[in-house]
């Protein structure tokens, strides 16, 4: 008698299911390895990988292959969505219908525009198909009493943990204040950080599953649960170290958001809500309880920011740089989002196509002060909205919202996979993790597994009203936590009010005393006193003085040349350009405009040449300009008289860290190589003009004079918009 004949029929079926699932897990693992290697940097791994990758890229660059592949992928996606939705509730049909419609727009957009060299459409469709297949597999495999989410979480955590040990063979390329940022086998630390963040969340999912009482599944399945939990537990520190060393703020934020989301889902789930019975005062206090811990954490973060925002400890400084107004990294991104939204506003229905987003942004929407327009590419949702239009974006947004909403009640894996999907969305917003090979597949896989129903025995037992995070604690502990959170919040508000409110006050002697006591550090004291004695600040807010103080010192750290202390004070820090009494509040405006232009210049003279070219490309110099303008307003007014241009030039040089003053002839001079030298002049002053094409003085500009033989500038009857365009 064979082994199969000795087993009972349900056990045979379960073993067959396990074998099928094992094949699927190994297949998924192989796919994962292939995707990770496919997205790796040049030189990582064996030599055949880049060759194979190039072959695939060339093959996919063919428009016909891309079109056929996209059409096939959409058919697969629609079929899988139909299989998932046919037995589900109306919300599931709406969710998957929104995805199918959005994918249809992606495919039709590609077929109409054919951006052969842009893989974004293929990435999205492939990721969606992989995610839908995994979700369907999980629902079907549940019939055998097993939950494939567990091996998936384990293998993902193990694979990504293993990738931490293989760093870029080309050597470190990215640094933050001298500290190397790890990139793993990928091209950029942000990609590495996003994947490590996903690994951290998968490891947490495996550990959370281990806390659940074992139930269901074939006999060996329970041992597998323990092994998976052990593997996740071992992977977690490795993943967390890689995640931390990536110095990717988007990855850090994604894990924070995902953990907070799991916490809030548990605290606010209907099952975990406290009973409404009891006195009204106590009921109000109970309603406030869930806010206590988040409020405490937030308040402590705010206090820590004000205390350590200027610290030299690299990781702390990196964390707080997200709230630093002088950090160009996040400010350039925010500025580029504005340009991306303007593209969406100009092309709301059909977008501009994947291939044109970057070029159109660079040419028509990028502000002049941004040296390059790469920041827009870091935001996947806005890039997708600009490429595809609002209908496709609305479809994806509806799909994401419905996939995330209310799935935490299904169990530990569902809530952690959904949290990982949310984390992937966060990194997609800040670091463009979705529009790359592993990111797209992982993102959709997290969403679909998080939204799929677990096997019946694996669903989490609904928490009682007295269980769950924090609810098991007694009322005294809850009241203490609430009180602590309230005290920390009040302290954070007070410190923030002082730091932000005081600089807005008009500069009076009393305000200066307050600033000395609260805002000025010991290192800034002498420069602050120097600035106070330089000019009459009574008409300016304290913020103007503080901007001069802090930006001049900060720019001195950034500049590629050394400035001696007396020169720095007299000709860089000093806000007084000349004796004309021009406005003093110019440093921030000009620093923000000029600093990105000169960041690669090595000498003051080279920086001055760039500055004068930039300024002259933004303003017109004319004797007939309307009225004198302060240096801080000239870039906005765009027209200045020559004397104002000299002031603007001097102010911009000082804001850029170049010691400058007005020479005997009234023109700007800069301190270079130990002596004063004339500053570079703009192109307009060096033009060689022969002849004169201007109109004679007696020409009447307003008269309607024909200058064409056939058209006497008689207005033709207006046409309709359609006629005009045809």
Q: By CB under 8 A, what part of segment 408-437 binds other proteins? A: none
CA distance 78 to 85: 10
CB of 407 to other proteins, least distance (A): 9
- Report 102-161 residues binding other proteins (CB under 8 A): 139, 142-143, 145
Binding flags for other proteins, 361-400, as an x/- string (CB under 8 A): -xxxxx-x----------------------------x---
CB of 633 to other proteins, least distance (A): 9
501 φ, ψ (degrees, to nearest 5): -80, -40
Q: Does 338 bind other proteins (CB under 8 A)?
A: yes
Q: Does 674 bind other proteins (CB under 8 A)?
A: no
CB of 493 to other proteins, least distance (A): 24
- Residue 410 or residue 568: which is nearer to other proteins going by CB? 410
Q: Does 713 bind other proteins (CB under 8 A)?
A: yes
Q: Does 673 bind other proteins (CB under 8 A)?
A: no
- Report 513-532 residues binding other proteins (CB under 8 A): none
Span interacting with other proteins, options 56-64, 167-175, 251-259, 711-719, rule CB under 8 A: 711-719
Specify the 3-state DSSP secondary structure of 265.
helix
CB of 631 to other proteins, least distance (A): 15
Q: Does 624 bind other proteins (CB under 8 A)?
A: yes
CB of 166 to other proteins, least distance (A): 40
Mark out the alpha helices in 405-520 (DSSP H runs). 412-431, 437-451, 475-501, 509-518
Look at the chain and count its residues.
Answer: 726
Nearest alpha carbon to residue 619 among 601, 631, 607, 609 = 631
Binding flags for other proteins, 232-271, as an x/- string (CB under 8 A): --------------------------------------x-
Query: Applying CB under 8 A, what is the total number of residues that bind other proteins?
Result: 82
Selected from 124, 133, 205, 344, the binder of other proteins by CB under 8 A is 344
Instruction: Centre a 10 Å sphere on the Cβ of residue 188 and count the other Cβ atoms it contains.
Output: 20
Cα separations in angstroms, 718 against 11, 409, 642, 708, 726: 82, 63, 44, 20, 14
- Residue 356 or residue 548: which is nearer to other proteins going by CB? 356
- Report 39-98 residues binding other proteins (CB under 8 A): 87-89, 91
Span interacting with other proteins, options 104-112, 113-121, 295-303, 698-706, rule CB under 8 A: 698-706
CA distance 193 to 213: 33
**Residues linked to residue 640 through DSSP beta bridges, in sequence order:** 621
Binding flags for other proteins, 603-622, as an x/- string (CB under 8 A): ----------xx-xxx-x-x
Sequence-distant (6+) residues with CB within 8 A of 119 are: 60
Span interacting with other proteins, options 427-435, 472-480, 563-571, 693-701, rule CB under 8 A: 693-701
- Residue 193 or residue 373: which is nearer to other proteins going by CB? 373
Dump the DSSP string for 104-166: HHHHHHHHHH--TT--HHHHHHHHHHHHHHHHHHHHHHGGGT--THHHHHHHHHHHHHHHHT-
Nearest alpha carbon to residue 610 among 549, 661, 653 = 653
- Report 574-603 residues binding other proteins (CB under 8 A): none
Sequence-distant (6+) residues with CB within 8 A of 395 are: 98, 99, 101, 102, 105
Sequence-distant (6+) residues with CB within 8 A of 90 are: none
Nearest alpha carbon to residue 421 among 398, 409, 403 = 403
CB of 609 to other proteins, least distance (A): 9
- Residue 517 or residue 701: which is nearer to other proteins going by CB? 701
603 φ, ψ (degrees, to nearest 5): -130, 160
- Residue 3 or residue 690: which is nearer to other proteins going by CB? 690
CB of 682 to other proteins, least distance (A): 7
Span interacting with other proteins, options 60-68, 179-187, 412-420, 685-693, rule CB under 8 A: 685-693
User: 452 with 138: CB under 8 angstroms?
Assistant: yes
Selected from 99, 239, 549, 625, the binder of other proteins by CB under 8 A is 625
- Report 450-489 residues binding other proteins (CB under 8 A): 453, 455-457, 459
CB of 450 to other proteins, least distance (A): 14
- Report 174-233 residues binding other proteins (CB under 8 A): 216
- Report 270-309 residues binding other proteins (CB under 8 A): 270
CB of 695 to other proteins, least distance (A): 5
CB of 680 to other proteins, least distance (A): 11
Specify the 3-state DSSP secondary structure of 702.
coil
First to last CA, the chain: 84
Taking the CA atoms of 395, 400, 401 and 403 in sequence, report the sign of the dihedral they define. positive
Instruction: Centre a 10 Å sphere on the Cβ of residue 74 and count the other Cβ atoms it contains.
Output: 21
CA distance 2 to 103: 50
412 φ, ψ (degrees, to nearest 5): -60, -45
Selected from 310, 329, 359, 580, the binder of other proteins by CB under 8 A is 359
């Amino acid at each position: 008698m064979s082994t199969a004949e000795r087993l009972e029929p349900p056990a045979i079926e379960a073993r067959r299911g396990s074998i099928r699932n094992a094949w699927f897990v190994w297949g998924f693992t192989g796919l994962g390895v292939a995707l990770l290697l496919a997205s790796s940097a040049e030189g990582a791994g064996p030599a055949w990988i880049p060759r194979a990758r190039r072959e695939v890229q060339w093959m996919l660059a063919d428009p016909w292959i891309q079109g056929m592949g996209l059409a096939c992928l959409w058919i697969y996606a629609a079929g899988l969505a139909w299989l998932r939705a046919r037995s589900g509730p109306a919300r599931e049909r709406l969710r998957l219908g929104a995805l199918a419609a959005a994918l249809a727009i992606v495919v039709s957009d590609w077929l109409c525009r054919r951006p052969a060299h842009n893989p974004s459409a293929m990435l999205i469709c492939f990721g969606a198909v992989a995610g839908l297949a995994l979700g369907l597999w999980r629902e079907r495999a549940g019939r055998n009493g097993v939950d494939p989410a567990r091996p998936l979480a384990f293998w993902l955590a193990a694979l990504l943990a293993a990738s931490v040990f293989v760093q870029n063979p080309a050597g470190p390329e990215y640094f933050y204040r001298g500290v190397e940022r790890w990139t793993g086998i990928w091209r950029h630390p942000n990609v590495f950080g996003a994947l490590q963040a996903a690994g951290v969340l998968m490891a947490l999912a495996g550990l959370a599953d281990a806390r659940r009482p074992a139930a269901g599944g074939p006999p060996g399945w329970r041992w597998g649960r323990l092994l998976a939990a052990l593997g996740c537990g071992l992977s977690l520190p490795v993943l967390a170290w890689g995640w931390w060393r990536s110095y990717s703020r988007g990855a850090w934020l994604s894990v924070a958001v995902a953990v907070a989301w799991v916490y809030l889902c548990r605290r606010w789930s209907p099952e975990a809500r406290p009973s409404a019975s009891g006195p009204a005062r106590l009921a109000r206090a109970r309603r406030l309880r869930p806010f206590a811990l988040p409020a405490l954490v937030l308040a402590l973060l705010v206090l820590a920011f004000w205390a350590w925002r200027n610290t030299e400890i690299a990781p702390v400084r990196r964390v707080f740089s997200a709230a630093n107004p002088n950090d160009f990294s996040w400010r350039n991104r925010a500025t580029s989002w504005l340009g991306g939204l303007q593209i969406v506003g100009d092309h709301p229905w059909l977008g501009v196509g994947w291939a044109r987003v970057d070029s159109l942004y660079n040419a028509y929407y990028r502000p002049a002060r941004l040296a390059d327009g790469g920041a827009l590419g870091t935001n996947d949702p806005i890039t997708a909205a600009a490429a595809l239009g609002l209908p496709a974006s609305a479809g994806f947004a509806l799909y994401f919202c419905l996939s995330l909403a209310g799935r935490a009640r299904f169990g530990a894996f569902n809530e952690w996979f959904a949290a990982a999907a949310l984390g992937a969305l966060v990194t997609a917003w800040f670091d463009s993790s979705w529009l790359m090979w592993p990111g797209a597949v992982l993102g959709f896989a997290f969403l679909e597994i998080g939204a799929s129903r677990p096997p019946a025995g694996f669903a989490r037992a609904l928490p009682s009203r007295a269980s769950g995070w924090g609810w098991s604690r007694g009322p005294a502990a809850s009241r203490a936590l609430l009180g602590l959170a309230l005290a920390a919040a009040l302290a954070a508000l007070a410190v923030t009010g002082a730091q932000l409110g005081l600089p807005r006050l008009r500069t009076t002697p009393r305000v200066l005393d307050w600033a000395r006591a609260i805002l000025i550090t010991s290192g800034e004291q002498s420069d602050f006193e120097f600035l106070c004695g330089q000019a009459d600040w009574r008409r300016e807010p304290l913020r103007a003085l503080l901007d001069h103080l802090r930006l001049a010192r900060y720019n001195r750290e950034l500049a590629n040349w050394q400035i001696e202390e007396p020169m720095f004070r007299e000709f860089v820090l000093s806000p007084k350009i000349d004796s004309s009494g021009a406005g003093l509040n110019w440093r921030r405006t000009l620093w923000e405009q000029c600093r990105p232009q000169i960041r690669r210049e090595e000498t003051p003279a080279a920086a001055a040449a760039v500055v004068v070219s930039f300024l002259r490309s933004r303003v017109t110099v004319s004797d007939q300009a309307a009225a004198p303008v302060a240096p801080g307003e000239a870039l906005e007014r765009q027209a200045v008289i020559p004397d104002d241009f000299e002031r603007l030039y001097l102010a911009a040089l000082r804001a850029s860290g170049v010691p400058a003053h007005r020479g005997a002839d009234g023109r700007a001079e800069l301190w270079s190589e130990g002596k004063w030298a004339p500053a570079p002049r703009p192109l307009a002053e060096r033009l060689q003009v022969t002849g004169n094409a201007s109109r004679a003085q007696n020409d009447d500009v307003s008269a309607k004079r024909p200058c064409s033989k056939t058209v006497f500038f008689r207005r033709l009857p207006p046409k309709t918009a359609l006629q005009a365009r045809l």
